[in-house]
């Protein structure tokens, strides 16, 4: 299991380090061009390909979607209350503290812990989180929410199309799936290198600026895990699904939260620093599950 985790996570950290080096030495990550490419092309292709590659019936998929939506709602309410209590702007910080990195970290971790049969379940949960990034996340950071904008959102349209194709048992031609796979493959590397670049260019004046990122790095995985456990008490899943759900909800702050914070002028530096710190906490949770 440790070897599988290493195989999954070493590439992740290697890309972050590469991004940090390039961010210090080049201007590759300046501006919004790369973020725009990821959000308008890479993520829709990745999500559609992932949904169509799953082997799952629509009923099982619907139950996982529903319980994940409930968890997001409860987590958002709890987090909004905590942020008001400590005097932080709710709209700026709520998306990053609610949304876990269920994609480029959660899916590999689930694979390492539970084997290839967990991938479809993990991807369904990840897909719902991705929709929430582009609804709850953008709604908070942009200070506005528009159904019209949601209807034009690439990731949302990709997931709706995927669900319809799964429900009708339709299959896209092989060349189309290969094209989607190639386009989606650009997403995770660019996001991770952008994160590394941001971390490398952080300007911190002292320990005081580290305090809240450290606190948030514990909050995101641990409160996410506790909230998922409470939801499962009211909406039990079978043991295998429940374990995957708990692990996904305990993942660190999502790289997408950083990408959107950059795009909408949110607290990008704080989020960038919180991500690697929260990875350590989530890894500890994963190790506990592996011993259970």
pLDDT digits (tens, 9 = 90+) for 169-194: 888 899 999 999 999 888 878 877 87
- Residue 171 belongs to a domain: no
Whether 281 contacts 217, CB under 8 Å: yes
* CA–CA gap between residue 74 and residue 98 (Å, rounded): 10
* CA–CA gap between residue 282 and residue 285 (Å, rounded): 5
- Residue 278 belongs to a domain: yes
- Residue 3 belongs to a domain: no
Boundaries of domain holding 102: 32-162+183-192+220-291
Length of the chain: 292
* CA–CA gap between residue 206 and residue 201 (Å, rounded): 15
Give CA angle at 16 (104, 208), nearest 5°: 105
* CA–CA gap between residue 142 and residue 186 (Å, rounded): 25
Indicate the number of domains in the chain: 1
* Residues 84-109 as b or e (16 or more Cβ within 10 Å = b): eeeebebbbbbbbbbbbbbbbbbbbb
Average per-residue pLDDT for the chain: 84
Q: Distances in Å between the alpha carbon of 15 and those of 18, 21, 110, 191?
A: 5, 10, 20, 9
- Residue 206 belongs to a domain: no
- Residue 237 belongs to a domain: yes
- Residue 22 belongs to a domain: no
- Residue 73 belongs to a domain: yes
- Residue 2 belongs to a domain: no
pLDDT value of residue 224: 97
pLDDT 10s digits, 242-286: 999 999 999 999 988 887 888 788 888 888 889 888 988 988 888
pLDDT value of residue 146: 62
């Amino acid at each position: 299991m440790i070897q599988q985790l290493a195989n999954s996570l070493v590439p992740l950290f290697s890309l972050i380090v590469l991004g940090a080096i390039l961010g210090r030495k080049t201007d590759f990550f300046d501006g919004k061009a790369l973020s725009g490419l990821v959000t308008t092309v890479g993520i829709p292709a990745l999500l559609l390909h992932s949904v169509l590659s799953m082997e799952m019936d629509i009923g099982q998929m619907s139950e996982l979607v529903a319980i994940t939506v409930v968890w997001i709602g409860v987590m958002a309410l709890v987090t909004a209350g905590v942020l008001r209590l400590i005097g932080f702007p709710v709209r700026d910080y709520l998306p990053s503290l609610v949304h876990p990195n269920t994609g480029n970290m959660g899916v590999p971790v689930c694979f390492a812990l539970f084997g290839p049969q967990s991938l479809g379940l993990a991807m369904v949960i990840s897909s719902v989180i991705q929709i929430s990034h582009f609804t709850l996340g953008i709604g908070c950071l942009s200070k506005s929410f528009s159904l019209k904008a949601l209807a034009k959102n690439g990731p949302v349209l990709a997931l709706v199309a995927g669900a319809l194709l799964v429900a009708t048992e339709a299959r896209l031609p092989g060349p189309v799936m290969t094209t989607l796979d190639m386009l989606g493959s650009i997403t995770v590397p660019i996001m991770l290198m952008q994160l590394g670049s941001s971390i490398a260019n952080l300007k911190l004046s002292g320990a005081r600026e580290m305090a809240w990122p450290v606190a948030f790095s514990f909050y995101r995985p641990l409160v996410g895990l506790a909230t998922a456990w409470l939801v499962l008490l009211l909406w039990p899943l079978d043991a295998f699904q429940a374990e995957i759900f708990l692990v996904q909800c305990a993942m660190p702050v999502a790289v997408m939260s950083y990408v959107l914070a950059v795009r909408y002028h949110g607290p990008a530096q704080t989020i960038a620093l919180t991500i690697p710190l929260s990875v350590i906490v989530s890894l500890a949770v994963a190790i506990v599950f592996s011993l259970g």
